[in-house]
Amino acid sequence: MTNATIAAAFEQIADLLEYQGGNVFRVRAYRNAARTVEGLVEPVASVRTDPERRLTDLDGIGADLAGKIETLLDTGRLPLLEKLEHEVPAVVFDLMRVPGLGPKKVKALVDALGIASLADLETACQDGKVRGIKGFGAKTEASILDNLAFARDPERARLLWEEAEQIARGLIDWLRECPETVRAEAAGSLRRGRETVGDLDILVESGDPVPVMQRLVDWPETDEVLLRGETKTSVRGPRGLRIDLRVVAQESFGAALQYFTGSKEHNVRLRTRARDRGLSINEYGVFRLADGGGGASGPSLAGETEPEVYEAVGLPWIPPELREGRDEIELASEGRLPQLVTLADIRGDLHMHTTATDGEDTLAEMVRAARARGLAYVAITDHGKRVTMAHGLDRTRLLRQWDAVDRLNESLAADGEPPIVVLKGIEVDILEKGGLDLPDEVLARADWVVASLHYGQNQPRDRITARIVEAIENPHVSVIGHPTGRLINRRPPYDVDIEAMIEAAARTGTFLEINANPWRLDLDDRHAAAAKAAGVKIVISTDAHSTRGLDVMRCGVLQARRAGLEKGDVANTRTLAGLQKLMKQ
């Protein structure tokens, strides 16, 4: 029974009492107790077993609450909570999972509209009935609709990295405007560049936590304050995202950044390494272990910066994207950490669409936007004709587009701006029955061919794999686009034998794509690492459908970094001549 579980039980009692219209002081007592328990550094069980102390020594814990903690510790259950859970209709628990709906609002919804399910709530919002209830309004109604997905499935409500990063950037700018803020950084899975982010961990260095934490509470995007402690404040921000802000002193900032960046697995291994050296690492710093291996003691040996924390255990600094507890500590200790590819290394973008199919911007607009982003070459890869939904190109329209590319290249060469070369490309469709939707004699005239599978995604593994391997073996195919077809949070990957795909790509010199679209990001980190190990070169492409879409390249680069890819592993870090030399044939 962890502190967090005990705290959650008390929070739930407080919620249910409040729902029932219980005594406000009693409700507050449970909330305070929850906060005390959650804020304890040591397990509450160890307070109980310590002969020198009592549970009632803890802030806000009287004899009654101390008894409840003991019951929870002994039995894992609490009769009061079970009684309340029995008395309150089940829908209340569902409704309270909607960010922004506390017990009082839930009660108002149930009383006024007889809401009996999340589906009822959705219908009532859509019909505009919720805004009419006292204490609600059109804005609350809209935010309930936005947040319903979260209540239905918290796992699926993890935000895409790019969405979370935008929220974090806005918040960090806001916190930096606070005069007491010295430094502010995001830690956690956001900093590690994970595909999705469940909550935000923000760290601020300051000698004066109170105004910094107040600044978070005052943030216009803060929906709900979940917890206020001495150095930690938690709120519910936009999209139901939980945000934990911790304010730390200068001497601990690096240690805290390391600690809260995680991952858990990485930190466990790092602590083991520290222990082997008679050291202890925590969020405050690096300490010498007391004799006999007990707790930490003495002054902190390191902690102001992250590199010095790693140095204290004999390691170079490890990039956050690699901190997943795989082999990074071993690689670091052997001096074999990869020099990860960076956004600045990328010279070309080899997958994008225009108004000729389902893009929003014209050929010329896309190319100028790419040039403005410093790229030296792009491939225009509109859809082949099979993708009828996108008005895919047949042979005639494709050849006409390539004529336009020729003319554009001439005018680009003549206009005195930094040079950019446009490659004649196509995103050819890997057909359900096998084969591609444009004939080889057309593909032979292309500079760059992306082959992607858009239809027949439910076929069995051997069929899908055979279609893709056949495309890889086509001498004109340069790269396989979005090789697993997944859409994060929306659609699982199709059932393809990735090893067979990688083996065929290695054998034929075909590239595999990391699609930088934040919904896609396939190949993922593990698969891209496997491709690298097999000697397959990766292409990171945006698959942009608008000029704005070109900006997601950084998401693809992040995925490549998580895979441990170096500049040399990524084909579009080469010059155009270098890329063409790498291509098959």
Binding site for Zn ion (CB under 5 A): 427, 452, 543
Q: H/E element holding 287?
A: strand 285-289
Select 96 or 471, whichever has its Cβ closest to Zn ion: 471
Contact 376, 429 (CB under 8 A): no
Please report the beta strands in 377-420, taking only residues with DSSP state E, as ranges in sequence order. Answer: 377-380
Would you call the peptide bond into 263 cis, given omega within 30 degrees of 0 as the criterion? Answer: yes
Nearer to Zn ion, 452 or 465 (CB): 452
| Residue placing its CB nearer to Zn ion in the complex, 178 or 390 | 390
Is residue 330 left, alpha or beta, with left meaning phi > 0 and alpha meaning psi from -120 to 50?
Answer: alpha
d(CA 499, CA 141): 48
- Other beta carbons within 10 angstroms of residue 415's beta carbon come to 11
Give whichever of 94 and 427 is closer to Zn ion, judged by the CB atom.
427
**Which C-beta is closer to Zn ion: that of 383 or that of 527?**
383
CB of 509: closest distance to Zn ion in angstroms? Answer: 22
Strands 377-380 and 348-349: parallel
Q: Smallest distance from the beta carbon of 352 to Zn ion, in angstroms?
A: 8
d(C-alpha 306, C-alpha 320), whole Å: 11
Rounded-to-integer distance, Cα 301 and Cα 217, Å: 34
Considering the complex, what minimum distance in angstroms separates the CB of residue 481 from Zn ion?
5
Only one residue has tokens 């002969």, namely 51
> What's the token pair of residue 339?
């020099």
Other beta carbons within 10 angstroms of residue 397's beta carbon come to: 15
What is the spatial distance between Cα 416 and Cα 397, in angstroms, rounded to a whole number?
30
Report, in Å, the least distance between residue 531 CB and Zn ion: 19
- C-alpha to C-alpha distance for 415 and 421, rounded to whole angstroms: 13
Closest approach of Zn ion to the CB of residue 374, in Å: 22
Minimum CB separation of residue 569 from Zn ion in Å reads: 22
C-alpha–C-alpha distance, residues 539 and 515, integer Å: 8
Nearer to Zn ion, 285 or 483 (CB): 483
> Which one, 261 or 452, has the nearer CB to Zn ion?
452
Residue 35 or 385 with smaller CB distance to Zn ion: 385
Q: How far apart are CA 20 and CA 88, in angstroms?
A: 8
Bridge partners of 479, per DSSP, are 450, 511
> Which tokens is 96 given?
């309270």
Shortest separation between residue 427's beta carbon and Zn ion, angstroms: 5
Please, what is the minimum distance in Å from the beta carbon of residue 517 to Zn ion? 9
Q: Which CB sits closer to Zn ion, 17 or 516?
A: 516
* 258/452 with CB nearer Zn ion: 452
Inter-axis angle of helices 103-113 and 3-19, nearest 10: 40
Q: What type of residue sits at position 524?
A: D
Residue 14 CA to residue 20 CA, distance in Å, equals 10
Identity of the residue, 90 or 389, whose beta carbon is nearer to Zn ion in the bound complex: 389
Q: How far is the CB of 507 from Zn ion (least distance, A)?
A: 24
Q: How far apart, in Å, are the Cα atoms of 507 and each of 289, 436, 484, 500?
A: 53, 20, 19, 10
Phi-psi region of 373 (alpha: psi -120 to 50; beta: other; left: phi over 0): alpha
Residue with tokens 């170079």: 316
**Distance, CA of 391 to CA of 382 (rounded, Å):** 10
CB of 454 to Zn ion, least distance (A): 6
Least distance (Å) from Zn ion to the CB of residue 525? Answer: 21
